[in-house]
Amino acid sequence: MAKKDVSPNMRAILVDWLVKVAEEYKLHSDTLHLSISYIDRFLSMNDLNRKKLQLLGVSSMLIALKYEKINHPPVDEFCYVTDNAYTKKEVVKMEADILKHLKFEVGGPTIMTFLGYYFTVVALEDYQIPNLKLEFLGYYLAELSLLENDCVILLLALVAASVVFLSRFTIQPKLHPWSSALQDFSSYKPADLKECVPIIHDLQLSKRRGPLVASRNKYKQHEFKCISTLASPQEIPNSFFEDVKDS
């Protein structure tokens, strides 16, 4: 993307805006993640004029809503949220272009898919962690990861594993955030997460994409237990990226 008209920073701004759109229309997190996946797949195959980036965003969200068979706002509403920068005809045409380039392959997993698997493993372990709080924190960090181009190039399962690692570290910073059960289930050792975890940690600490606060504001709400206000230690001990000792 760095060589194209659309820069990683422009993409991040689009993602931040789509978080606001998704919240305004009370869309599920899965819909947001699916929308971003269409955007990234399309951009990986096409040189897009930056003036059409927002058009790509709303059209991708429309496809995600249709794929999930959710009663979606009319196309006119998607024009409205862009301040009518695009016509209904342009949205529909972009929708068709996206589907064509994706070869109508609009299914597939997202980070949220893998998070669901990993949280099931965590729930079976007796760490006395408040699971709902942990899950909300995971959803928040997963959403933050969508902002960063460095996460896009990594496997979804690895990003999800890194989110679980960082979520557990944030809630219980003195305990090793990984376990043999998670390692066996995910096939990832702590060392495998050493590249991704710091990226998401920097996002959490606002060291990356600091001005983009849509997800932060969203998860400040009481319905998400104000999870984005939860402080995380500034440093993650290197020892936590060593092999787990438990059995």
Which distant-in-sequence residues (6+ apart) come within 8 Å of 36 by Cβ? 15, 18, 60, 146
Q: Quote the tokens at residue 243.
A: 């092999």
Q: Comparing C-alpha atoms, which of 190, 159, 157 is closest to residue 176?
A: 190
**Half-sphere exposure of residue 33, counting CA atoms within 13 Å on the CB side?**
23
Topology of the domain comprising 111-241: Cyclin A; domain 1 (1.10.472)
pLDDT tens digits for 138-163?
999 999 999 999 999 999 999 999 99
Q: How far apart are CA 222 and CA 243, in angstroms?
A: 36
| pLDDT for the residue 236 | 96
The overall average pLDDT reported for the chain is: 92
When pLDDT is averaged across residues 83-107 and rounded to a whole number, the result is: 95
| pLDDT for the residue 246 | 55
AA letter at 108: G
Angle between helices 111-123 and 131-145 (to 10 degrees): 160
What's the maximum distance between 2 C-alpha atoms anywhere in the chain?
Answer: 59
The CATH superfamily of 8-101 is Cyclin-like (1.10.472.10)
Q: Which residue intervals of the chain bear CATH 1.10.472.10?
A: 8-101, 111-241
Which distant-in-sequence residues (6+ apart) come within 8 Å of 25 by Cβ? 73, 77
